[in-house]
Amino acid sequence: MKTKRKGLVIVYTGKGKGKSTAAFGLLMRALGQGLRICVIQFIKRETGRWGEVKTAQKLEIEWHKIGDGFTWLSKDIDESAARSHHGWQLSQDKIASGNYDLVLLDEFTYPLHFGWLDTDQVIDWLQANKPANMHLVITGRYASQALIDYADLVTEMTKVKHPHDEGYKAQRGIEF
């Protein structure tokens, strides 16, 4: 086993529940170990309602919301693309700053998947500029093969069973 420290690139992907949730759990772990954290959230579903945002505020975790609700599904493609570019610019600034031990790009796979950002350019930039000891966590469905190849640790969340299948609504504190 190599014993050197290495900033890992971690991807949580797949169609199952628990991708962003696992990333938020990682924040708890990292924070407890004194790591300096920055979160950039590329999809914002409902303003200020997310339980994890409230807890992150309590923990004084730096947290940026870029996305605008369900815009990836909307007709306003220019708006979505513009937001993606703004979010990626902010991400580059934060990553290159050297001020963080862990940066989470939450739901970052979507702007890549929908083509608002160019995957190859993003990976090239990360390979050239990500601090070697900084951990980078990326969540979202549809992680591309190029992103998987770039990552060190990739977990796919697979839905085995979901209560929406039984007709239950999303539960406060559990799904948001």
Which residues are at the interface with its own copies (CB under 8 A)?
1-6, 8, 10-14, 16-18, 20-35, 50-56, 58-59, 101-102, 135, 148, 151-164, 166-169, 171-174, 176
Which residue, 32 or 75, is less far from its own copies as judged by CB? 32
Which residue, 83 or 134, is less far from its own copies as judged by CB? 134
* Residue 124 beta carbon to its own copies: minimum distance, rounded to whole angstroms: 20
* Residue 90 beta carbon to its own copies: minimum distance, rounded to whole angstroms: 22
Provide the pairing of β-strand 37-41 with 62-65: parallel
How far is 38 from 94, CA to CA, in rounded Å? 8
Using the 8-state DSSP alphabet, how is residue 72 labeled? G
* Residue 76 beta carbon to its own copies: minimum distance, rounded to whole angstroms: 27
Q: Which of 171, 169, 174, 130 is nearest to 6 (CA)?
A: 130
Residues 6+ apart with CB under 8 A from 14: 141, 155, 156, 157, 158
Which residue, 12 or 116, is less far from its own copies as judged by CB? 12
Could you tell me the two tokens for 83? 């937001």
* Residue 158 beta carbon to its own copies: minimum distance, rounded to whole angstroms: 5
